[in-house]
């Protein structure tokens, strides 16, 4: 565990990558048999085993929610077809757990999700991303957690998502927020929006699915189009390929192609979430 991932993050990875034939109790025994050289890793694994023993229902929910979402594509699928299938899979995931569908490490717990959301908000504020005279587009808004957390920090917020169920949940949770607008969009572009219509664009855990669908480059082009000058893009997690080097290379290339400057190049600033943070400006 050289990347220093927390015990909750380890549990999420186990839920995503191990076959469902291995139960939580059996897996806890396997984890306890691992003897890492690092004492920190040993303590982390003991915590993982404890979570598996104490929360087998949560582990099952993580498997179901994570398993509902596509993380691979077939060679013969078009980009548009992948986006449509992703929309359906996020509908299914949100039906299992709204909180876990936007962040598995929340364990489906709203308080956990709020804590991570607030940590991300604090990071954005510390980098002067927010502003009460600014407008922001949230790509992949999910259940509206950032709309609720940031609505007082922006003049106007627009959250978009390809999942009808997520937009429905977000609409209920943000109904009282007068400066928040939510839309289900195609996931193919940002055609709903005029040129230079936003000061900021936020994308938290949405680009990995755009990368999967072959739509990342198109969205960089569209983000550059809808951003004002000056404008800012906060991109948290570019892909799930497991290569920060490749992510940095792609973002650097796309930023240069669309006249954006990379200010923060893939740091890991969060304690409660293992996301890679990028901040760009124009």
The contacts of residue 134 (CB under 8 Å, 6+ apart) are 154, 155, 199, 200
> Given this model, what pLDDT does residue 4 score?
61
Query: Taking the CA of residue 53 as centre, how many other CA atoms within 13 Å lie in the half-sphere pointing to its CB?
Result: 11
pTM of the model: 0.93
Question: What DSSP line would sit under 163-219, residue for residue?
Answer: -HHHHHHHHHHTTT-TTEEEEE--SS--TTS-TT-EEEEEEES-HHHHHHTT-HHHH
Q: What is the pLDDT along the chain (282 residues), one digit of tens a residue?
A: 445 678 888 899 999 999 888 999 999 999 999 988 788 888 889 999 999 999 999 999 999 999 999 999 999 999 999 999 999 999 999 999 999 999 999 999 999 999 999 999 999 999 999 999 999 999 999 999 999 999 999 999 999 999 999 999 999 999 999 999 999 999 999 999 999 999 999 999 999 999 999 999 999 999 999 999 999 999 999 999 989 999 999 999 999 999 999 999 999 999 888 899 999 999
Domains present along the chain, CATH in parentheses: 7-54 (no CATH), 110-281 (3.40.50.150)
> Given this model, what pLDDT does residue 2 score?
45
């Amino acid at each position: 565990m050289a990347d220093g991932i927390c015990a909750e993050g380890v549990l999420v990875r186990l839920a995503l990558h191990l076959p469902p034939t291995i139960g939580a109790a059996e897996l806890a025994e396997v984890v306890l048999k691992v003897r890492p050289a690092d004492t920190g890793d040993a303590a982390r694994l003991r915590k993982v085993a404890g979570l598996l023993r104490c929360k087998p229902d949560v582990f099952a929910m993580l498997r179901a929610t994570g398993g509902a979402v596509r993380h691979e594509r077939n060679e013969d699928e078009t980009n548009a077809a992948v986006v449509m299938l992703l929309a359906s899979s996020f509908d299914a995931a949100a039906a299992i757990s709204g909180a876990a569908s936007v962040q598995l490490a929340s364990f489906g717990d709203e308080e956990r999700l709020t804590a991570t959301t607030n940590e991300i908000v604090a990071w954005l504020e510390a980098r002067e991303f927010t502003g009460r005279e600014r407008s922001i587009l949230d790509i992949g808004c999910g259940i509206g957690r950032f709309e609720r957390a940031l609505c007082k920090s922006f003049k106007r917020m627009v959250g978009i998502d390809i999942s009808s169920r997520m937009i429905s949940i977000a609409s209920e949770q943000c109904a009282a927020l007068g400066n928040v607008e939510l839309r289900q969009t195609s996931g193919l572009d940002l055609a709903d929006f005029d040129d230079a219509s936003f000061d900021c664009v936020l994308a938290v855990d949405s680009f990995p699915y755009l990368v999967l669908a072959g739509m990342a480059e198109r969205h960089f082009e569209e983000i550059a189009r809808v951003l004002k000058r000056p404008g800012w893009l906060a991109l948290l997690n570019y892909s799930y390929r497991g290569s920060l080097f490749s992510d940095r290379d792609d973002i650097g290339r796309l930023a240069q192609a669309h006249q954006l400057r990379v200010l923060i190049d893939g740091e890991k600033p969060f304690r409660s979430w293992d996301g890679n943070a990028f901040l760009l400006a124009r």
